[in-house]
């Protein structure tokens, strides 16, 4: 199979050449996402330039590429359609402030709660989305797709397929691109294989005067420098409440996609990025972008994988990608518009093959059924909706499975001590999933007058646990008996103190034990 051959050595040359490769792939992506959002091509290109440049300079993951993304574009389209592009710009500014706040509050650490099956599902789902997005290039522009009139009309797979020689030529050039990328690293690593493939296929099309779709068929990318632009909206509470829901969703999707991509690049490069710094860097980038006529953005897994595969390691790879993109807009647009789309499709297909976790097919029968279900569900939801929804669904399912499994682990043993007290020893966590089993194990009517519950091998985890203790205390009080809690951990005792009158029990403080030393010489 195709696989990424990762160059783990950072160098200025690798960063520069990989940045050029990424910039070439960024052009059609940024333009396509701008169309999805219902804005002009330059709005997407300016976002790719500004977000990519700023996050590369101050973000938390060197080598990760950021720019305009489809996950954000699908949220933006309704805002643009209803209120116009100026409201999008102010929404992106507010989105940036929210992301900066998340970084300053150190919320980036919560990405650690995403389980590995969710991560696998995210990677596989995103690979499928990248693959399906390329299918659009196999269709006739402006023609109704083959699914027209069905519930899948205008979906990502509703493509008006090219016919005959046009389709065969496009497929042939895509295959040539993929073969170059696959076999060139076995011969030499002097230049990034993706860059050589793009240049070779472009030269082949020019030299043989082949009639195939090029970047210029999608849109013109010619433009000037982005200029400061204060969004033309009323600055009042009405505007604030219009854009706030969109800004919150955009900020959440951007951070989730960026932090998961950060984790993926960490694993590939065997280095560690900084999640909170990435939140702040991305927030600053989006705030600036909103004031310069861009649609905002976040980390792009496809371009990040191209960068890593091409040897990009340091911040200069992202910086050079952004600067090359600006150069394309200002000067080289006539040349870039002549690059065959087939070359860029081939590059993205290689990214798909390298991104998809093929090992998941091998392990799916060896892992617990719940993990396999989570992996498949997250992949499907990523394709059907978006990344943020898929990750939230995956985390919720994982949490429910964890709670159900650990609810079975609570064990309670009872005996009578030398003082005539009934002593219950609890093993396992006391939380919402285990409170029912916990309460069923006690019998206030049959127990002695003095009852002790020993939490040496347990802990009270939440309000449901507190409520269970309070319920138990009430039962023993109604039976005319005294209840004591011993060996509570420090955090459990603090939880009980915070609960105040919610819990009415006699908590016995554990004694402090001193170790005697034999000082005799």
* pLDDT of 223: 85
Residue carrying structure tokens 């939230």: 392
* Residues β-bridged to residue 427: 411, 457
pLDDT tens digits for 173-191? 999 999 998 898 888 877 7
Listed residue (446, 438, 427) closest to 467, CA to CA:
438
- For residue 500, pLDDT over 80 is answered with no
Listed residue (294, 325, 322, 329) closest to 40, CA to CA:
294
Task: Give SS3 for 161.
Answer: strand
CB 88 within 8 A of CB 295: yes
Measured from the Cβ of residue 24, the count of other Cβ atoms closer than 10 Å reads 25
Residue 48 to residue 60: CA distance in whole angstroms = 18
- For residue 279, pLDDT over 50 is answered with yes
* Predicted confidence band of residue 515 (pLDDT cuts 50, 70, 90): very low
Half-sphere exposure of 216 (CA within 13 A, CB side): 11
- For residue 145, pLDDT over 60 is answered with no
Contacts 24+ apart (CB under 8 A), 106-109: 106/276, 107/255, 107/276, 107/279, 108/60, 108/255, 108/259, 108/274, 108/275, 108/276, 108/277, 108/278, 108/279, 109/275, 109/276
Q: What is 411-507's CATH number, 3.40.50.300, 3.90.380.10, 3.30.750.24, 3.40.50.12780?
A: 3.30.750.24
Task: Give SS3 for 299.
Answer: strand
Provide the token pair at 188.
Answer: 């030499």
Enumerate the H helices of 225-340 as residue ranges.
237-269, 275-291, 301-309, 315-327, 333-336
Residue 317 to residue 327: CA distance in whole angstroms = 15
Asked whether the whole model's pTM tops 0.85, one would answer no
Helix crossing, 237-269 with 275-291: angle to 10°? 140
Residue 19 to residue 16: CA distance in whole angstroms = 5
Q: How is the chain split into domains, by residue range? A: 13-373, 411-507
More confident residue, 322 or 117: 322
Averaged pLDDT of the chain: 83
Rounded to an integer, the average pLDDT of 34-40 is 80
Residue 177 to residue 193: CA distance in whole angstroms = 9
- The most confident of 58-62, 130-134, 259-263, by mean pLDDT: 58-62
- For residue 82, pLDDT over 60 is answered with yes
Residue carrying structure tokens 């990762």: 6
* Predicted confidence band of residue 521 (pLDDT cuts 50, 70, 90): very low
- For residue 497, pLDDT over 80 is answered with no
* pLDDT of 148: 52
- For residue 356, pLDDT over 70 is answered with yes
Residue 57 to residue 64: CA distance in whole angstroms = 11
């Amino acid at each position: 199979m195709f696989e990424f051959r990762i160059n783990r050595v950072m160098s200025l040359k690798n960063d520069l050449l990989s940045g050029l490769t990424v910039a070439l792939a960024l052009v059609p992506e940024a333009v396509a996402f701008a169309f999805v959002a219902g804005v002009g091509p330059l709005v997407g290109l300016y976002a790719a330039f500004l977000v990519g440049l700023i996050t590369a300079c101050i973000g938390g993951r060197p080598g990760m590429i950021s720019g305009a993304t489809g996950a954000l574009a699908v949220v933006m389209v309704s805002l643009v359609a209803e209120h116009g592009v100026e409201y999008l710009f102010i929404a992106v500014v507010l989105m940036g402030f929210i992301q900066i706040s998340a970084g300053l509050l150190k919320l980036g650490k919560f990405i650690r709660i995403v389980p590995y099956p969710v991560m696998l599902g995210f990677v596989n789902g995103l690979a499928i989305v990248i693959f399906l997005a390329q299918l659009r290039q196999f269709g006739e522009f402006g023609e109704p797709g083959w699914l027209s009139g069905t519930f899948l009309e205008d979906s990502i797979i509703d493509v008006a397929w090219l016919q005959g020689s046009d389709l065969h030529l496009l497929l042939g050039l895509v295959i040539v691109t993929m073969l170059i990328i696959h076999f060139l690293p076995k011969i030499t690593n002097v230049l990034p294989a993706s860059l050589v493939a793009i240049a070779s296929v472009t030269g082949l099309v020019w030299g043989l005067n082949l009639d195939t779709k090029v970047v210029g068929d999608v849109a013109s990318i010619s433009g000037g420098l982005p200029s400061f632009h204060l969004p033309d909206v009323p600055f009042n509470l009405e505007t604030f409440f219009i854009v706030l829901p969109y800004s919150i969703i955009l900020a959440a999707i951007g951070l989730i996609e960026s932090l998961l991509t950060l984790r993926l690049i960490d694993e590939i490069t065997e280095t560690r990025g900084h999640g909170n710094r990435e939140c702040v860097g991305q927030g600053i980038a989006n705030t600036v972008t909103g004031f310069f006529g861009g649609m905002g953005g976040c980390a792009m897994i496809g371009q990040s994988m191209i960068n890593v595969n091409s040897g990009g390691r340091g911040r200069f790879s992202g910086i050079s990608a952004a600067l090359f993109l600006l150069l394309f807009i200002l000067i080289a647009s006539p040349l870039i518009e002549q690059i065959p789309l087939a070359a860029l499709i081939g590059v993205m297909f290689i990214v798909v093959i390298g991104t998809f976790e093929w090992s998941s097919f091998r392990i799916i029968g060896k892992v617990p059924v719940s993990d396999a279900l989570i992996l498949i569900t997250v992949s499907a939801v990523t394709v059907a909706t978006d990344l943020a929804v898929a990750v939230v669904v995956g985390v919720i399912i994982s949490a429910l499975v964890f709670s159900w499994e650990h609810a079975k682990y609570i064990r309670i043993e009872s005996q009578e001590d030398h003082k005539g007290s009934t002593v219950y020893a609890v093993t396992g966590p006391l939380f919402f999933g285990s409170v029912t089993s916990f309460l069923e194990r006690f019998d206030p009517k049959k127990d002695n007058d003095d009852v002790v519950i020993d939490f040496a091998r347990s802990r009270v985890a939440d309000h449901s646990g507190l409520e269970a203790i309070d319920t138990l205390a009430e039962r023993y009080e109604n039976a005319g008996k005294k209840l004591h809690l011993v060996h509570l951990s420090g955090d459990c005792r603090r939880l009980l103190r915070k609960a105040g009158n919610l819990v009415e029990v006699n908590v016995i403080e554990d004694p402090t034990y001193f170790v005697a030393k034999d000082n005799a010489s």
